[in-house]
Structure 1
Amino acid sequence: MRTRISIALCTYNGERYLREQLDSIARQTRLPDELIICDDGSSDMTPQIVDDFAASAPFTVKPSRSDKNVGSTKNFECAIGLCGGDIIALSDQDDVWHRDKLELIERAFLDSPLTGAVFSNGAVVGDDLSPLGYTLWDTFRFKKKQKSCFEKGRALEVLLNHDVVTGATMAFRSSLRDIVVPIPVAWVHDAWIALLISIYSKIDFIDKNLIDYRQHSNQQIGSVKRNFTDHKNFARSITDYHAQIAKYEMLLDHLRQLNLRCNDYAIAKLCDKIEHLEVRNSICKSPKIIKTIEATYELINRRYHNYSNGYLSFCKDIFWGD
């Protein structure tokens, strides 16, 4: 049984690396059925590169260009909406895909009809594609424990703690599109999509590097491997709990507006995450004795481990706060 695969690729001033990415898509052992390219108002040669590629590509290429810059989240929302395939594979403009990426993704969906999304690992490389010696999963702490949760259908537990799904490695069934759109601008598209699909379907992973993820100075997010000091500094840097609370409240509102059956466990976990963030916001404003009591309670009930950075976040709230 053959599925139709669409690629949703977003571009913005990507002339430096885009040709290599497009060439890697054209070299796939399983070619896509269509490539949707949404450009976010580029001012460089990106549109010309896309047109040149479309003229000779061995599959349908459908370019779309915005007159104004809407940002990566809304640009991906647009590209996802234009895809006509059964499977939608997301693509950044500056990576390089391994030749068997789409073939393995298609096989994963065919082998598991209940799977709603699939993602893989990726080798992190420099701007010249030289290996940097680590992978995306090394940076996201996607290890044995987290993999086990995904295999048991408990991906939501991992994703409410930290992001592990890189959009550039993700593909999902188009039948779930109406669940994930619209995407609020406050969210990064891949985190939003992964969380929602984990609530309504199963997310599988391919334990293999299927892209070279380019690490360079101009990218929006990037993937840097952190040591203990980096994790400590990251934990200390999180202070805007209001923004985090607002994001997860958006997710709850979205679930209510879908008018679809949602399991009580997922709702309870989301509410628990919000409550934990509210407690942390309160702790940072409390006297020393109060914050110690409240933080210790959060530690005992394991919400620091379930929804934050464990003992590092606990120490941040007790010792490193203002």
Structure 2
Amino acid sequence: MTISVALCTHNGERFVGRQIASILDQTRQADELVLSDDASADGTVAVVVDAFEQARLAGRAVPELIVLRNPEPLGVTANFEAALAACSGDLLVLSDQDDEWEPDKLQRLEEGFAARPGLLFLHSDAALIDDAGTPAGGTLFGALEVGEAERAAVHSGAAFGVFLRRNLATGATSAIARELLALSRPFPAEWVHDEWLAIQAAARERLDLTERVLTRYRRHDANQIGAGDPTLRHKVSRVLGTRGDRNLRLASRSAVLRDRLAEAADVPRGHVAAAAAKAEFERTRAAFPASRLRRFLPTLRLALGGDYARYASRGRLDIIRDLLQPV
């Protein structure tokens, strides 16, 4: 099995050197690293290239380095799609620019795929660190409140119902089989790359997670996509904050998923039907009136029918959100 690392960067000079050091210090060295830089205005690429050169001069074996430079920013999702498409390995490991890997990360991911023939997507837990690399307390699964029932469902092959409600996978902790790339492209603009890859693998019942901590996930203000904060204050702010276009975005995402899965011959028809039901649920929510009073009956109908339990990311919290949230 050959391993490629897909590293996407954008103005990541501050932390990327530490990430590269952790990648080069793996107990199982990658065969290839594809760096796709999204029009950085700093020295990000130079830091990476120099780290590889210094390692070679020190007599160390290093992965083959392939550098892609986007003259204009593609954005996170399109940049990762380009990086993954340029990889040649059997196993493609996603990497953000500002995290750090545990030394056995690639070894453990390779073992995970070898132990699960046919697996398309595997993601792990991560330890949270701050700007200085100091433990910030807790793990990524803890921050995302990944419950025991959700973990058990994923391990049993029933991940699709879980991921239809909400995404549990973070790209910085994930690896995919090359086959998944062909099944998932093109990546839709409505989805983030890691969520899209995960739901495609889950729809085919070929996704799993490991509770091993294989990444040190850096939380800082410049994170484009970060771990959520499960505090009560944060939850209340989500309910009472204005709705904006959130429901429209959820409806658009769900419609894209419904249509793509309907075209896939290898997705169980039950999952296709569930994706269609999810799309209808989100379409209905997006059409809720601005008046809180007029939202009550349609929200109650969805709740009594079990739709919030099946399809809403936060279940009862989303019922409260739909009843109380200002437009």
TM tier, shorter chain? over 0.9
TM-score, normalised relative to structure 2:
0.92
Equivalent in the alignment of 2:7: 9
2:192 is the alignment partner of 1:194: no
Distance (whole Å) between structure 1 residues aligned to residue 72 and residue 252 of structure 2: 27
Deviation at 1:287, TM superposition (A): 6.9
Structure 1: unaligned runs, 5 residues or longer: none
1:141 aligns with 2:145: yes
Shift of 1:254: 2.7
- Structure 1 residue runs of 4+, over 6 Å off? none
The alpha-carbon deviation at position 225 of structure 1 amounts to: 2.4
CA distance in 2, matches of 1:155, 1:210: 21
TM-aligned CA deviation for residue 72 of structure 1: 0.9
Q: Residue 48 of structure 1 is aligned with which of 35, 46, 49?
A: 46
> Which letter does structure 1 place at the counterpart of 2:254?
Y
Kept after mapping to 1: 8 A contact 2:239/2:324: no
CA contact 1:118–1:170 (8 Å) conserved in 2: yes
What does residue 271 of structure 1 align with?
Answer: 276
- 2:108 maps to which residue? 104
8 Å Cα contact 1:54-1:60 kept in structure 2:
no
Does the alignment pair 1:212 with 2:210? Answer: no
Matches within 5 A, 1:1-150: 3-55=1-53, 56=56, 58-150=62-154
Q: Does 1:314 align with 2:319?
A: yes
Q: Deviations over 1:132-172 (max 9, x none)?
A: 11111112221201001101211111112122100000001
Query: 2:260 aligned to 254, 262, 278, which one?
Result: 254
Against the structure 1 CA distance between its residues 281 and 49, is the aligned structure 2 distance closer, same or farther, given a 3 Å change threshold? same
RMSD in angstroms over aligned alpha carbons? 1.7
Q: Distance between the aligned counterparts of 1:72 and 1:318, measured in 2?
A: 33
Task: Tell me if 1:162 matches 2:166.
Answer: yes
Structure 1 residues 224, 291: CA separation in 2 closer, same or farther (over 3 Å shift)? closer
Contact 1:116–1:202 under 8 Å retained in 2: yes
Structure 1 CA distance for aligned equivalents of residues 23 and 29 of structure 2:
7
Cα distance in 2 between the residues matched to 1:141 and 1:270: 23
Q: Take 2:8 and 2:26, find their aligned partners in 1: how far apart are those partners?
A: 19
Classify the secondary structure of the residue corresponding to 1:35.
strand
Deviation at 1:128, TM superposition (A): 0.5
Aligned to 2:289: 284
2:180 alignment counterpart = 176
Q: Does 1:223 align with 2:227?
A: yes
The aligned amino acid for 2:248 is H
Q: C-alpha distance in 1, partners of 2:121/2:239?
A: 30
CA shift in 2, pair 1:320/1:78, >3 Å: closer
After superposition, the Cα gap between the structure-2 partners of 1:205 and 1:261, relative to the gap in structure 1 and judged at 3 Å, is: closer
Distance 2:85 2:28 in 1: 23
Q: Percent identity, please.
A: 31
The one-letter code matched in structure 2 to 1:178 is A
Q: Which amino acid aligns with 2:289?
A: C
Whether the 8 Å contact between 1:284 and 1:321 is mirrored in structure 2 is: no
TM-superposition CA deviations, 1:5-50 (whole Å, max 9, x none): 1110001111100010000000101111111110111110112112
Q: Is the 8 A contact 2:251 2:286 kept in 1?
A: no
